[in-house]
Amino acid sequence: MIVLKFGGSSVADAARMREAAELVRAALPRSPLVVLSAMGKTTNGLFEAAKTAEAGDLAGALARQRDLMAAHRCAAEDLFAGAVPEALDGSLTDLFGELELLLRGVAMLRELSPRSMDAIASLGERLSTRIFAAFTGGAWVDARGVVRTDAVFGEAVPQSAAIRELAAAQVAPLLAPGQAVVTQGYIGGTEDGLTTTLGRGGSDYSAALLGAALGAEEVQIWTDVEGVLTCDPRIVPDALPIPDLSFAEAAELAAFGAKVLHPATIQPAVEARIPVTVRHTGKPHGRFTTIAAEVRTGRPITALASRGPVTVLTVSSSRMLAQSGFLARLFEVFGRRGVSVDLVATAEVSVSLTVEADVPLKALVQDLAAFATVEAHEGRAIIAAVGERLKSTPGLGARLLTSLGDINVEMISMGANEINLSLVVKQEEAAEALRRLHRVLAGGGA
Ligand code: ADP
Ligand code: ASP
Ligand code: MG
């Protein structure tokens, strides 16, 4: 069997859904499991409706609900040329009724817990899959009964062993050549039947989890670009598609901000050694990227990515050298505050590290000030250059740093896996830094 995952832009309206349905039809001999995102920007719309309700503006929230309803009904009407099947019509009515009830509850309590938010966010994928399953004649599966997660709402952690069992019981029997099975990305459920989500952009992750659970031959990620590109095309318009990518490179790129893949996507596929391809729904015969364990690209730099804003903390202690256990003490502070540290660079008397922008900075600085001097610089960005021969290519670091010219690099870190060179610059200079570094990559200078 294979997994085909379509992102939001690939199912944004009736025309896009027809293209996606055509690709599913072509894949029918390979027993496809179709994993869908919500239509277009529906998830954003659901978040806005929920926040509007939380602010006590019920009328505003319900107006957004009606806009979403109109868009979904319009797509269904178009796909079925005005004759929407009764069962689909009933499902849409039920789902929008559920959304209205949830929004009324949030508005009444003026309280939006992550748990309520997940219940509301789940509607996007449940709606898109109902329409798509009806249109393609595929069997509809409720992912909340298959993608078992813990109860960390908004960022739930999938439980692979349970997912394997549930997929074997509920999805595998439906898979057959000539038959499509349609389910939701992004959403899951706890053992108690509560609705969860895997975090924004989580549909890729769902596709990889289900592919791994079912032993797929391939996981196809259908999106709006011709694969993973050498840089974010919104920043570097002449970024080029990468034909093949190693799992390690793809995982680094995803973790360092290449939005094309959810950061955790790769893991379940790597473990199951399933190739992942990234393809353009609008250009199915165009170029695409294959990500596979066997791929050894051997390139010095494969691609660039950036993530920000982040905060750089520089912790100094003149007595540091003499103090064994200094680093243990330092990291204990971050551990206790539940803050994860990203990049680390150490010098004789100081340690620089990056943390996300939303950490409890004041509390951290206070804790650290008990045994060291701390400086915090907010509004920074991490730029990652990823490539398998990065470390063994003489002079590459010099070429990259030279290309940056007057852009100040505040921190440099070579990932432990040696395929990621990370630089920290001011957030407002990150785009220009990417463009300059990309010239080195594209010009063969790398
Ligand atoms: P989908 O809705 O299909 O999941 P996303 O919007 O999540 O699609 O991801 C695709 C987008 O990721 C592209 O349109 C592109 O703007 C952005 N992107 C960022 N970095 C990269 C990259 N290195 N390669 C390709 N796309 C990238
Ligand atoms: N619909 C979800 C989101 O917008 C998940 C996804 O598209 O991957 O975040
Ligand atoms: Mg995505």
pLDDT per position as a tens digit, 132-173: 999 999 999 999 999 999 999 999 999 999 999 999 999 999
* 277-301 tens-digit pLDDT: 999 999 999 999 999 887 777 788 9
- Ligand 2, closest atom to CA 202? 8
Question: What pLDDT band is residue 393 in, cutting at 50, 70 and 90?
Answer: confident
Q: Is 200 in the pocket of ligand 2 (CB under 6 A)?
A: yes
Residue 338, domain member (yes or no): yes
DSSP H helix total and E strand total for the chain: 13, 16
Residues 6+ apart with CB under 8 A from 351: 314, 315, 316, 327, 330, 344, 345
Whole-number pLDDT of residue 2: 98
Least confident of 204-213, 425-434, 435-444: 435-444
Q: Which atom of ligand 2 is found nearest the CA of 204? A: 8
Pairing assessment for the beta strands 276-280 and 289-292 based on DSSP bridges: antiparallel
Location of structure tokens 């940056």: 404
Instruction: Looking at the CA of residue 232, tell me the nearest atom of ligand 1.
Output: 20
Q: Are residues 57 and 156 in the same domain?
A: yes
- In this prediction, residue 157 carries a pLDDT of 97
Contacts of 440 (CB under 8 A, 6+ apart): 301, 399, 400, 403, 446
pLDDT of residue 42 exceeding 70: yes
Report pLDDT digits (tens) over 65-123.
Answer: 999 999 999 999 999 999 999 999 999 999 999 999 999 999 999 999 999 999 999 99
Angle at 355 between CA 254 and CA 271, to 5 degrees: 35
Question: In this structure, are 307 and 425 located in the same domain?
Answer: yes
Average pLDDT over residues 224-251: 93
114 in the same domain as 15: yes
What does the block give as tokens for 407?
């852009």
Tokens of 148: 């078992």
The domain in which residue 373 lies consists of 303-441
Interatomic CA distance for residues 69 and 130, integer angstroms? 13
- pLDDT per residue as tens digits for the range 398-428: 899 999 999 999 999 887 677 899 999 999 9
Asked if residue 258 is part of any domain, the answer here is no
Distance separating alpha carbons of residues 223 and 226, to the nearest angstrom: 8
Question: Which has the closest alpha carbon to 342: 428, 249, 256, 431?
Answer: 256
Sheet containing strand 2-6, edge to edge, reads: 139-141, 181-184, 32-36, 2-6, 218-223, 276-280, 289-292, 244-246
- Determine phi and psi for 422, rounding to 5 degrees: -110, 135
What's the pLDDT score for residue 258?
Answer: 86
Per mean pLDDT, which of 175-189, 245-259, 375-389 is the most reliable? 175-189
293 within a domain of the structure (yes/no): no
To which residue do tokens 């982040």 refer? 310
Is the residue at 41 inside a domain?
Answer: yes
Distance CA 380, CA 358 (A): 13
Ligand 3 centroid, distance to 67 Cα (angstroms): 23
pLDDT the model gives residue 446: 54
Gap from CA of 262 to ligand 1 centroid (Å): 10
Give me the percent of the chain exceeding a pLDDT of 90: 80
Mean pLDDT of 249-278: 89
Which ligand is nearest to the Cα of residue 223, counting in written order?
Answer: 1
**Residue finishing a domain among 217, 239, 256:** 217
The mean predicted confidence, pLDDT, of the chain is 94
d(CA 358, CA 354): 12
Q: Using a 6 Å cutoff on CB, does residue 263 contact ligand 2?
A: no
| Shortest-distance Cα residue to atom 6 of ligand 2 | 201
Task: Answer yes or no: is 263 within a domain.
Answer: no
**Polymer length of the chain:** 446
| Residue 104 CA, ligand 2 centroid: distance in Å | 24
pLDDT(322) > 70: no
DSSP E strands, 123-210 = 139-141, 181-184, 187-189, 195-197
Taking the centre of ligand 3 as the mean of its atom positions, its distance from the CA of residue 318, in whole angstroms, is 46
- Above 90 in pLDDT, residue 313? yes
Tokens describing residue 345 = 């660079």
Residues ≥6 apart with Cβ < 8 Å to 283: 226
Protein residue whose Cα sits closest to atom 12 of ligand 1: 260
Q: Which of the listed residues 177, 200, 217 is the one where a domain comes to its end?
A: 217
Residue 256, pLDDT score = 87
Same-domain check for residues 206 and 345 = no
Whether residues 176 and 314 fall in one domain: no
Q: What is the largest CA-CA distance in the chain?
A: 79
What value, to the nearest 5°, has the Cα angle with vertex 84 and ends 80 and 86?
150
DSSP secondary structure, 13-36, as one string: SHHHHHHHHHHHHHTGGG-EEEEE
- Residue of 259, 435, 441 to test ligand 1 pocket, by largest number of atoms within 8 Å of CB: 259
Q: Tell me, what CATH number does 401's domain have?
A: 3.30.2130.10
* Continuous H helices in 80-159: 86-109, 114-136
The residue assigned the tokens 């748990």 is: 115
45 and 166 belong to one structural domain: yes
Kindly report, residue by residue over 332-349, the tens digit of the pLDDT. 999 999 999 989 988 777
Band (pLDDT 50/70/90 cuts) for residue 444 is low
How far does residue 262's CA lie from ligand 2's centre (Å)? 10
The secondary structure element, H or E, covering residue 6 is: strand 2-6
Nearest ligand to residue 43 Cα:
2
Atom of ligand 1 nearest to the CA of 229: 24
Q: Is residue 312 part of a domain?
A: yes
Which pLDDT band, with edges at 50, 70 and 90, does 187 fall under? very high
> 29: domain CATH number?
3.40.1160.10
What 3-state DSSP class applies to 172? Answer: helix
Radius of gyration of the chain (CA): 24
Residue 41 Cα: closest atom of ligand 2: 4
Those residues with Cβ within 8 angstroms of residue 243's Cβ, 6 or more apart along the chain or in another chain: 227, 287, 288, 289, 290
Given this model, what pLDDT does residue 445 score? 52
Question: Is 254 among the domain residues?
Answer: no
Q: How far is residue 207 from each of residues 2, 7, 198, 278, measured CA to CA in Å?
A: 10, 11, 12, 12
Of 48, 196, 203, the residue with max ligand 2 atoms within 8 A of its CB, to mutate for a pocket test, comes to 203
Residues β-bridged to residue 441:
none
Edge-to-edge, what's the strand order for the sheet holding 303-316?
A: 341-346, 350-356, 303-316, 373-386, 420-426, 411-414
Number of domains making up the chain: 2
- The answer to whether residue 236 sits within a structural domain is no
Token pair in block for residue 161: 């062993």
Of 174, 192, 217, the position where a domain reaches its end is 217
Bridge pairing between strands 276-280 and 139-141? unpaired
- Cα separation of 211 and 205, whole Å? 10
pLDDT at position 391 is: 80
